[in-house]
Amino acid sequence: MKDENLLGPWVRRFLLEHLVAERNLSRNTQASYRDTLMLLLPFASKEGGSPIDRMTVEDLTPAIVRKFLYHLESTRQCSGATRNQRLASIRSLAKFIGMRSPVHLAWCTEIRAVPFKKTAQTVIEYLEKVEMNALLNQPNQRTPLGARDHALLLFLYNTGARADEVARLTVGSLQLGRSPSVRLHGKGNKFRTCPLWQTTTTSLACLVGNRDLNGSVFMNRVSQPITRFGIHGVVTRYANLASKVVPTLATKRVSPHTIRHTTAVHLLRAGVDINTIRAWLGHVSLDTTHIYAEVDLEMKAKALASVDLSGLKARPERRSLPSLVAFLKAL
């Protein structure tokens, strides 16, 4: 690197050397970092009055970063979570430069001092059983496209797979024999195996036929592998139709990830232990999976119904402290 003050070469090294060669991040994560810089650099160039190809590291000041974050929320209408995600990418770039160029340590410290914004916890939406059944009943299975859509919705519900995982699913990943299962390639380049219901197995067997093992399971109208955006379109289209049958669906934002949440909650209600659900969904941490136990209203209602409130008021001395703690936690 001839001029260590220029920002451009650092950005190139960050994207290619750090994200790909050193950390081997997933394609989606790499794209997220790239998109942040695609938004930031033109904004910083305009604010600072320097051409992008001549911008120095110091031209990217903390003040410009703060203006950029405000621009994301005010002009682009991004949420607080998205704003923090973009800031995390910028701070990661600053750390990369600071660790390799001691002369930029002070700049790195100032950039990384820009604080994250406290945001409200995202409300996890999921579908009740009647809503999920209504969604599954919408495709016309007598047509090839309807049969594909029904198999897709059923597969999403069965496995709790992410849209990107389904889009990259190949025929060779399916095991439709005596013990039907699927091998999913998830986040962090990790693989997991999920069992398949017999109904899902039958639908998939009819869908894939004798296709090549390297071919995609779900194809679009022009016989190309369906994209995650195409999967999102399928889910939202049938959700709109199902909302005419079950009106409560109209109040929910249904997406492939909503079905993933639905799978987790329904597994929890069925008595599946939390660690199995973690492995089923491909979560790294149990903390992520525990969220579903907190949002399930049906389980909270059952906990409340199991407590005799009249007895609690009339005979408080008979209820021990541990049982009271359990009751309060259930609420």
Active site residues: 162, 187, 257, 260, 283, 292
Cα angle 82, 261, 229; round to 5: 60
174 backbone dihedrals φ, ψ, rounded to 5°:
-95, 140
233 within 8 A of 153, measured Cβ to Cβ: no
> How far, in Å, CA of 15 to CA of 286, rounded?
31
Q: Residue with structure tokens 């962090």?
A: 188
Residue 12, both tokens: 């190139």
261 within 8 A of 126, measured Cβ to Cβ: yes
> Distances from the Cα of 105 to the Cαs of 44, 99, 101, 260, in angstroms?
20, 8, 7, 43
- DSSP letter at 56 equals B
Cα angle 57, 58, 59; round to 5: 90
For strands 174-175 and 191-195, give the pairing.
Answer: unpaired
